[in-house]
Amino acid sequence: MNRRAAILGWGAVPVGTWQKSVTGDAVLEHELAVEVVLDAMTMAGLGRASIDGVAVAHPGDHTKQGYFHTFLTAHLGIRANATVVQVLGNGMTGGHAFDTAVHQVASGQADCMLAVGVHFETAVPTARHLDYSIRLTGDVDFQSVFGAVPIAWYAMDAQRYLHEHRVPRAVLASVAVKNREHARLNPLAQYRTPITLDEVLAARPIVEPLGLLEVPGRADGAVALVVVSEDVARASGRPYVLVRGRGFEHEGLHQLSDRAGTDALDYGTLRLASRRALESAGLALADMSAFQLYAPCTIVEVLATEALGLFPRGEGAAAAADGRTRADGTYPVNTCGGCLSRGHPPEVAPLYDVVEAVLQASGRAGPRQAARGPFTMTVCELGKYNAALVHVLEAVS
């Protein structure tokens, strides 16, 4: 029990439009999964027989194939002796797939796990997609009845933040410019054309005060990770990244506290989960060289940096505007471009975040490489940070 797990290989397609076919022929989830699984296994230098189990991110409502995990495992011709499982947890879904793979290895059930996810949604029109997604982030009988789309909850955080801390909208919007600057240097990113602050502010409103460039676009994606025991990783002779720490917290709420006066801008689950992750790693916040934060909107990244303790309450937006979360800043955040520009295929976004955390930890992030050391943190959430799942990684070469 409690062995250490390591990431030995990964594969990912660029985030973007895969499901909405340009040729007229359908693109199928399991066919795309083959590409990323083989890339990940090749990087790990392992063959199919090494795989003990498969943890699959639930592909969401717009994937036709049901029981995708067993279907995919069969398509790959994998015999598994540890587990084959499909996991679901809102925006945390991909994080759960990774976490499940880590636990299978750490508990000794598996020496080698595949964590894999494919998210498709671009062939489904936005308005129809929203008919589905209003059922996810509210009480369907008492909240969804008002048309509260998922990002509406974050928008209300944004409106409150601007009011409470007297922050100009342009300061908050600067997060989008920073993330695009990072994405420009990331070949896996969906949106790579630089944008200006004026363009962000002039974009059409989506959920006030947030405009088109402050909320995530529609996106497909596919990622596979190979998670192995430390022994297997060491024996491979290849560079690997250890999972050093892990923390989780759920506050027992679904989107909204029903107590008047509750501070909705305090993402307290992240504060607790990140502390637990650092404690279990025996490390401090200052040891982290980069932070991958699940942040579908500008405001979410700001509130997450404040919850982590990178900046005092109410100062996260100004810190971002000052460049302190850039790849060359004090605390590099979302060096891949984040959900806004790397892209946001919801169920697999946390798997992309692990990929970036691996690249940053191991010094392989190219021109967007943050300066310092082998430790990185990756964070995903569910609801409106009603829960946070945090992993601390360490590169070993």
Question: Can you give the binding site for other proteins, defined by CB under 8 A?
Answer: 125-128, 130-131, 133-134, 138-149, 152, 155-160, 162-163, 204-209, 252, 256-262, 264
With respect to other proteins, which residue has the nearer C-beta, 218 or 244?
Answer: 218
In the bound complex, what is the minimum distance in angstroms from residue 206's beta carbon to other proteins?
A: 5
With respect to other proteins, which residue has the nearer C-beta, 31 or 61?
Answer: 61
With respect to other proteins, which residue has the nearer C-beta, 101 or 134?
Answer: 134
With respect to other proteins, which residue has the nearer C-beta, 78 or 212?
Answer: 212
Helix (H) / strand (E) element for 368: namely none
Distance CA 324, CA 54 (A): 38
With respect to other proteins, which residue has the nearer C-beta, 130 or 396?
Answer: 130
With respect to other proteins, which residue has the nearer C-beta, 138 or 350?
Answer: 138
Residues β-bridged to residue 91:
89
In the bound complex, what is the minimum distance in angstroms from residue 211's beta carbon to other proteins?
A: 9
In the bound complex, what is the minimum distance in angstroms from residue 88's beta carbon to other proteins?
A: 21
With respect to other proteins, which residue has the nearer C-beta, 23 or 259?
Answer: 259
In the bound complex, what is the minimum distance in angstroms from residue 251's beta carbon to other proteins?
A: 12
In the bound complex, what is the minimum distance in angstroms from residue 162's beta carbon to other proteins?
A: 7
With respect to other proteins, which residue has the nearer C-beta, 138 or 221?
Answer: 138
Amino acid (1-letter code) at residue 2: N
Instruction: Tell which residue, 293, 340, 29, has the closest CA to residue 181.
Output: 340
Do 19 and 27 form a contact (C-beta atoms < 8 A)? yes
Q: Could you tell me the end-to-end alpha-carbon distance of the chain, in angstroms, rounded to an integer?
A: 25
Q: Which two tokens stand for residue 313?
A: 């309450």
Q: Which two tokens stand for residue 350?
A: 């946390």
In the bound complex, what is the minimum distance in angstroms from residue 259's beta carbon to other proteins?
A: 6
Amino acid (1-letter code) at residue 107: S
Q: What is the DSSP-derived secondary structure letter of residue 150?
A: H
In the bound complex, what is the minimum distance in angstroms from residue 258's beta carbon to other proteins?
A: 5
With respect to other proteins, which residue has the nearer C-beta, 152 or 304?
Answer: 152
The Cβ-side half-sphere exposure at 189, using a 13 Å CA radius, reads: 26
> DSSP string spanning 163-222?
HHTT--HHHHHHHHHHHHHHHTT-TT-S--S---HHHHHHSPEEETTEEGGGSPPP-BEE
In the bound complex, what is the minimum distance in angstroms from residue 214's beta carbon to other proteins?
A: 12
Chain centre distance of CA 268: 18
Amino acid (1-letter code) at residue 68: F
In the bound complex, what is the minimum distance in angstroms from residue 272's beta carbon to other proteins?
A: 20
Q: Which residues contact residue 7 at a Cβ distance below 8 angstroms, ignoring those fewer than 6 apart?
A: 225, 226, 227, 240, 241, 243, 354, 358, 393
Distance CA 287, CA 309 (A): 13
